[in-house]
Structure 1
Amino acid sequence: MTDGLDSDVASADDVAKRRDDVAARVRTHAGEMARELAVLQGGDYGQRTFETDDGDWTLKYEAGDVQYLRYEPSSGSEIYVVSSKQPPEPGPFERALEDYDAFVEVFNDHIESFEGLFDDAATELPAVASAAELAAERDRILERIREVATAMAQQLHRYDGEYGTYRTTVSGTRWELKWDGDAVSYLRVGGSDGTYLLSQYGPAPAPEVRRLVGDVGAFVSSFNEDVADLEADLSRVSFETTT
């Protein structure tokens, strides 16, 4: 009953070494295909499936190198010919290699099918219109608005404190001027989600300036009216003393 204990155990070292050598060669070869596929498809990662008569091969790449090469035969289980997890089993690996040449041929046909793709592509493109004059006019208008808003900020600083926000409504839209000392922090139209005509972050878009510039005069007039009303109210204040 124990005679088998004296028998030598067959070694799988030779088979595993041969498998590992072939797998390393396949990985290097598949890595070359992955780099070519990455160049063609663009991007840092992606995958593509190639169909042969006997199955489907899926090549996945990342950062210009192969992530895995999977073979799905017409019948039977899928085989990871190249994988980051573990080497393939010798039997399934050998089966996949029988179709490997056909896979490479299909891959090469795919790459070569793009030859001459751009032969008739237009290389003479229309000149791009310059926005320099438009931007300069936008900046000129905004500079004038800033001058007026700064004058308002100076008056607000004089009679309403070191900093604050002046609010009014023009054509049904809310206008807000925030000042800090004699300087304008921002001029915003349309509430918190509105357009900053003036701010510290950069000029407003030209279309928005064009849309709103016509109401700047009404905004200033509303401010002047508010100041005039305040002056009239203050003029009616009297102090009576008794003796």
Structure 2
Amino acid sequence: TVYKRPKVALIANGDELVKPGSELKSGQIISSNAYALSALIKAWGAEPVDAGISIDDPAAIRQQIHECGDVDLFVPVGGASVGDRDYMRTVFAEMGYTKIFEKVAVKPGKPVWFGQMDSALVLGLPGNPASALVCAQIFLKPLLFALLGDQAPANTPHFARTTTSLNAPGWRTSFIRAFAYIDQSGCVHVTRADNQDSSLLTPFRNSNCFIRQDADTASIAAGELVEIVPIKPI
């Protein structure tokens, strides 16, 4: 069976976002998510369509969705939390979006949402850069593999011994950015990145995996086995 490459429309949302190279004014930030997500979408076999930045205005968001044309998957990034100006999910609902799920017990990445609008799927990702990239790996990658007809698991779990202790994750499953390596005896070890703030991209620079800690599990001592999800070759 031959499957076509899915077309994936990326819609960044927020009055505070400006394009790379712009002179930043007070309260503005560079819109980086679309560039990182586009690279991942290409690597995973699909065709990204950068729909640009939508301001926090329902009419503008609606127009931008229309301008995306015929796509297989919409990936709005941001605009789905509980703020007074988070309109993205509301606009999709007004345009016929049917919810399959919204909000997930994952850290980082609680405000993920997923559904269908006409023949297209919609996967909403958080606006925080680290949250967006973690959730892309956990939710977007398996979805694209399914659309491509790939039967292989999108995220094959491995196991490694943690070099540091890990706090209990609480009520959400945690995906911790980390670096895994193989020692001379062939054993796999993993070290968590120091700063796990959901707004920071720098921990990804030296990370090649996530440590997965399931919700409501106990803390983990250094030297214990943990599950890891590779995002780069180890």
Shared fold, TM over 0.5: no
Higher relative contact order, structure no. (Cα contacts within 8 Å, ≥ 6 residues apart): 2
Give the structure with the higher percent helix: 1
TM-score by length of 2: 0.20
TM-score by length of 1: 0.19
Give the structure with the higher percent strand: 2
Larger Rg: 1 or 2?
Answer: 1
